[in-house]
Structure formats: C-alpha cells, structure tokens
Amino acid sequence: MPTPSASATPSMCTCFRLRRASRRVTQVYDHELAPVGLSLNQYSILRRSEREPRVLGDLAGELGMDRTTLTRNLSPLVDAGLVEIVRGHDARQRLIALTQEGRHRLLAAKPRWRRAQDTIDAMLGDAGIHRLHADLDHLDALLRKHLGEAA
C-alpha cells in the first residue's frame, strides 16, 4: 500500500478520504466524457434513465442525491434537450425521460465511460476492484440502515 507523500497531511477522517478519492476518480471520468459534453453526474443520470422514464424521487435515491440536488443537475440536461420532465400517471408525479438527442449523446459517451472505468480497474486490479466494490456496497447498506432509508 503506497504511503502518503511528505507534503500530504494525513487525516483520520473517513469522509475526507472518501471525498478526496471520489473527486480524483470523478476527474478521470470527467476527462474522458468531456469531448461528448457530459460530466460523470450527467452521464449517470442519462444512464439510469435509459430504459424507461424514471420517477424523480426514485432516481434521486438511486443516485444518492436529494431531490433538490437532482433537480439542479437536471437543469443543464433539460436545457441541452437531452432529457425532458414529464408528468406520470399521477399529475403530481414527475418523470425523467431521455430524448432522442439524449440517447444519441449517451451512445457516444458509453465507450468513453468504459475507458475511464478500465483505467480505474487497471490501477486496482481485479481483486482490488472487487474488494473496493464490496466494501463500498457494504458501507452504503450500513449507512442506509443508520439513516433509516429503505435498502
């Protein structure tokens, strides 16, 4: 396991370490997705809305965001014509639906996302990726339970 550089300030804060690593991983994905005009957050929204229109609240929960944050992240996608917000069966229900342009952009982004994914996977190796995914999924489940969210 690599040791921090002499200039790095070690932190015992789990949140700090997770956020720092998350920002750096996000930079790898954002760099790959930039040529198609998407950020990782935008790609994730499009990807999770690909099969069928998604209920705003359900999508927010899946992404680990609150509804307000998701609405803010949707605004540029709506403005770019990549998604539209439509009414559900219940007039109060809001659904996120991909437009044809959104489907085209997502199709262009998938191989770029794959390159970013392969880059991270190669850094950790198969065993490291499986361990990381298992640890993160376990932590997520524990936090959902702690916060009283449905699993």
- All residues at 6 or more sequence positions from 18 whose CB lies less than 8 Å from its CB, including other chains: none
Expressed as residue numbers, the domain containing 31 is 26-147
Residue 150 in this model has a pLDDT that exceeds 90? no
Q: How many domains does the chain have?
A: 1
Residue 8 in this model has a pLDDT that exceeds 80? no
Using alpha carbons, list the distances in angstroms from residue 51 to 34, 55, 87, 97, 98: 23, 13, 17, 9, 9
Which of 136, 51, 64 is closest to 96 using CA atoms? 51
Supply 55's token pair. 């209920």
* Residue 18 placed within a domain: no
Give the global pTM: 0.84
- The pLDDT of residue 89 is 81
CATH number at residue 126: 1.10.10.10
* Residue 117 placed within a domain: yes
* Residue 2 placed within a domain: no
For residues 76 and 62, the answer to whether their CB atoms sit within 8 Å is no
* Residue 13 placed within a domain: no
* Residue 36 placed within a domain: yes
* Residue 81 placed within a domain: yes
For residue range 57-111, list pLDDT tens digits in order. 999 989 989 999 999 999 999 999 999 998 878 878 889 999 999 999 999 999 9
Determine which helix (DSSP H) or strand (DSSP E) holds 107, and give its type and residue range. helix 100-147
